[in-house]
Structures are given as C-alpha cells and as structure tokens.
Amino acid sequence: MEQYYIKGGNPLVGEVEIGGAKNAALPILAAAIMTDETVHIDNVPDVRDTNVLLTAMENIGVIVRHEDRHRITINAANVHETVVDDDNIKKIRASYYLIGAMLGKYKHAEVTLPGGCDIGCRAIDQHIKGFRALGADVVVEHGMIKTHAEHLRGSHIYMDVSSVGATINVMMAAAMAEGKTIIENAAKEPHVVDVANFLNSMGASIRGAGTDVIRIKGVSKLHGSEYTIIPDQIEAGTFMFAAAVTRGDVTVRNVIPKHLESITSKLLEIGCEVMEEDDQVRVVCSRPLRHTKVKTLPYPGFPTDMQPQITVALGLSEGTSIVTESIFENRFKYVDELTRMGANIKVEGNTAIIDGVAKYTGAGISAPDLRAGAALVLAALSAEGESLLDNIRYIQRGYEDFHLKLQGLGAQIKLVDSENDYAKFHLLTG
Ligand code: EPZ
C-alpha cells in the first residue's frame, strides 16, 4: 500500500505550478461526448478521478487519445451504449455527469449511483428534480439511475439548494432540450462557469453562469471544440495554506486570483502576507498565526473543499478559532488524526472549536478523504518529527504529483510502499 513518509519542520519556499481544475475537468470530459465531432481539451489534470471517468467513457465506445499528459482528444461518434455500469465508476462522484450529458444527447442514460468522498449524505434529489422538469422519466433501481425522455423540453427550475453537481448536470441536459430553460438558485462556482463556457464553445447557448440565474436556449446539435480548463482553485488554495502552516514563502503560479479571494482574505486575517499578480499569488508567513472564525459557504464564500486545510492552520494559531461547516454534515473526520498530532480541537455538530497549539508532532495517520488527506499532509509538513500517512489513494484522486510539487518547495515527503522503503528514506533523512 502506498503511503507518504513526511519529515516535518521545513518552511516551504519557492514556486509551484497549478494544474487544471479537477471539478471542472470531470463535467467537461463528460460533456465532450455530447457531439459526434472531435473535441480537444487542454489542461486536464492527470488524477485518478479523471482517469476513472475516461476509462468508463472508453468502455461505452468513446475514443480517448492522450496527445500529451494534459491534452486529450475525445471523439464520441461511435458510442454503442448508454448504460455505464462499471465497478470503478461507482467510486467517483462525477459519474453522474454522464447522466446529464447522455440524457441531453441520446435522451437516455443509465449510470451506477455515484460514490465519492464520504463527507456527508450527498443527495441527488435536485439532479432528479431537474431532469424530471425537463420531461425525463427517472427511476433509481438496482443501484442505477435510469433516465429516459421521448422529448426533452426546456423548463423553469428552482434549485432548493445551491448544488454544483445538479446545476451542471441539468445545464448539460438542457443545452440539448427543445426550447428555453431557466435554472434559478444556480451554483456560481468557477467550474460551473467553465462548463458553461465549454458547452458554448461547442455551440450551446447558455447565459448567466456565475450568477444565480442561468438561461439556456436548447440546440439540436453541438459541434467539435478546442478548450482549455481553468486552473484548480482548491489545489492553489492548498499550496497557499501549505505556505501558512510551514511559515514559508510560496508563489503559486497559473491561478486566477479572483477565484481565490475568500482564501486570500482568510490568510490575511490570520496574519500572512499575500501578494497578487496577474496569474500568480505569493503567500509569505513570517509572523505567528492569529485565530479567526470561518464558515464554509457556496462560492464566493469560503469553499468547503478548503475547510480541512484552514482548520490545520488554525490549529497552530494563537487563541481560539471556530470553523463551521455548512455544506456537508460529516467533514470533520480528520480531526481525530490531527488530535493524535497534538491538536486541541473539539467538534460539536457542524462546528469545530480550535484552541491553537504551538506545534504538531509527527504520528502515524490516515487520510479519511481527499481534502482532509491533503490537509493532514500540511499538518505533517509543519510538525516536529516524522509522520507516515496511509490511504493516500484519496489524495491521488484530486492532486496531481502532490508529493513531487511539495518536494519542489523543499518539503521532505516521499511516496513509499513498503516498510523497506520507509526504512531507507528514514536513514536518508534521519
Ligand atoms: C461538488 O460536489 C464537488 N465534487 C465537491 O468536491 C465539492 O465539495 C462540492 O461540489 C461543493 O463545492 C465534484 O465536483 C465532483 P453539491 P457535489 O451538489 O456536486 C446538497 C472535492 O473534494 N445536495 O454542490 O456533490 C449536498 O448534500 C469534492 O473535490 C442536495 O441536497 O456537491 C450538499 O449539502 C468533495 N441535493 C450541498 O447540496 C442534491 O441533489 C452541496 O452539494 C445535490 C446536492
């Protein structure tokens, strides 16, 4: 089993290049099957979730060609079935984007119910409500979602909660419905906008993405396109917080600073310096960190996907901080691991009350999910002594070359997959 061996204590210093946004890439790759023409997509992150999705697409007849590590060509002219039921696809949340894409194009889709990180109940009622509003029959049976429509017709849909997945999924299906669709209370995340821009580049007519109201005029056909995915807001935020917790000086390159505003603002509040330029941000942390309060919210609020990383930083900050998780009900599972490293954090319901400690100490720890896993790496990098992190497959779902990028900033982190490896590295750095 692969693990990260980490020896903490080095301030991270240097520059790191951010890749394409995983949570934009997943729906964009799925949406690429909505045309029979060839689509070229650039800046696709080479992470486990995108690769699982691409394999599932190949299994139904999509031709996927890797022009280089991050540039992929997709052609869906020979799709031979609209049933996606493979063992791997169950493990990723984004499998559900194939429903919106196939329902839009083929008016039929059957996809295994989504898995993904275990961070809460993760309902899909808003997806189903949206598809039904467009005129599709939807049933959930034998672990599959099955949808079919004789005709998809535009509709006026009010989302009961701001859902990234439901907004994107319904937007994809509506792009190829007859007539106009209005989605109210739409999610406004940058990746929602990116998917709308991609669909528009294929000939869709979608206006208002990035606001509460998205207006879509359905078209009968989409065409080929060439598109570059936006940089990953959460990967960038994770490296910004890596600078904060290790008292480092990190320039995070290839980002859209606007997408990072809520993250930047919290870093400033806790005492870091943040210098923004056109497509990079530099985070310098030379003073003791200060306490604050933070509540996760839909964009442009502080992202739930950055909640574990800020908690790790606040665990090292002077005074008492409060973190409230308002999106998912079970996203503090990593706190037990942090406690083993010396953190003083009490979780009550959806709130963590954090009494800052002067330092963490290395320990054997385990990643409970993707972002929590990345946050535990940050904790271990700041800690006194050595840590061994299990279950790093979660991290590999969404961070490309995480340990290599950290090594580039001076971190002592190594991918190991046996006790032998561990002993070797231990001798090397010990
Ligand atoms: C996406 O999940 C991301 N995943 C998550 O990132 C991210 O945490 C989340 O959006 C919020 O930003 C992908 O893009 C693959 P939601 P998603 O639908 O679409 C409730 C990561 O670490 N809800 O916006 O599943 C839901 O229970 C992952 O990269 C309903 O009630 O999130 C939650 O409380 C983890 N009914 C809230 O809405 C629905 O039909 C937001 O969920 C849909 C959602």
Query: Could you tell me if the CB of 98 is within 6 A of ligand 1?
Result: no
CA 329 to centroid of ligand 1, rounded, Å: 11
What is the C-alpha to C-alpha distance for residues 67 and 10, in angstroms, rounded to an integer? 37
Query: Could you tell me if the CB of 243 is within 6 A of ligand 1?
Result: no
For residue 108, how many other CB atoms are within 10 A of its CB? 16
CA 127 to centroid of ligand 1, rounded, Å: 11
Query: Could you tell me if the CB of 125 is within 6 A of ligand 1?
Result: yes
CA 340 to centroid of ligand 1, rounded, Å: 29
What is the C-alpha to C-alpha distance for residues 158 and 261, in angstroms, rounded to an integer? 28
Largest CA distance in the chain: 67
What is the C-alpha to C-alpha distance for residues 255 and 278, in angstroms, rounded to an integer? 8
Structure tokens that stand for 361 in this block: 């100490």
CA 300 to centroid of ligand 1, rounded, Å: 15
Q: Tell me what pLDDT residue 115 has.
A: 64
Query: Could you tell me if the CB of 328 is within 6 A of ligand 1?
Result: yes
Please report the atom of ligand 1 found closest to the CA of residue 128: 40
Please report the atom of ligand 1 found closest to the CA of residue 398: 29
CA atoms within 13 A on the CB side of 426: 10
Query: Could you tell me if the CB of 327 is within 6 A of ligand 1?
Result: yes
**Ligand 1: which of 122, 238, 326 to mutate, most ligand atoms within 8 Å of CB?**
122
Q: Tell me what pLDDT residue 428 has.
A: 45
Question: Of the listed 117, 121, 272, 285, which one is catalytic?
Answer: 117
What is the C-alpha to C-alpha distance for residues 72 and 404, in angstroms, rounded to an integer? 23
Q: Tell me what pLDDT residue 425 has.
A: 54
Residue with tokens 């306490």: 291
Per run of 10 residues, the mean pLDDT along the chain (length 430 residues) is: 95 98 98 98 97 94 97 97 85 89 97 72 89 97 92 97 97 98 98 98 98 98 98 98 98 98 98 97 96 98 98 98 94 96 97 98 96 98 97 96 98 85 51
Query: Could you tell me if the CB of 166 is within 6 A of ligand 1?
Result: yes
Structure tokens that stand for 154 in this block: 């535009």
Q: Tell me what pLDDT residue 121 has.
A: 66
Which residue puts its alpha carbon closest to atom 41 of ligand 1? 163
Q: Tell me what pLDDT residue 220 has.
A: 97
3-class DSSP assignment, residue 225: strand
**Ligand 1: which of 126, 306, 327, 394 to mutate, most ligand atoms within 8 Å of CB?**
327
Which residue puts its alpha carbon closest to atom 17 of ligand 1? 165
Please report the atom of ligand 1 found closest to the CA of residue 303: 12
What is the C-alpha to C-alpha distance for residues 183 and 179, in angstroms, rounded to an integer? 13
Q: Tell me what pLDDT residue 418 has.
A: 63
Query: Could you tell me if the CB of 168 is within 6 A of ligand 1?
Result: no
3-class DSSP assignment, residue 130: helix
pTM of the model: 0.96
Which structural domains are found in the chain, ordered by start?
3-19+231-429 (3.65.10.10), 22-228 (3.65.10.10)
Rounded alpha-carbon distances, angstroms, from residue 244 to 72, 156, 216, 314, 317: 35, 45, 42, 10, 10
Please report the atom of ligand 1 found closest to the CA of residue 167: 18
Confirm whether 272 is a catalytic residue: no
What is the C-alpha to C-alpha distance for residues 320 and 279, in angstroms, rounded to an integer? 34
Query: Could you tell me if the CB of 84 is within 6 A of ligand 1?
Result: no
CA 425 to centroid of ligand 1, rounded, Å: 38
What is the C-alpha to C-alpha distance for residues 175 and 159, in angstroms, rounded to an integer? 17
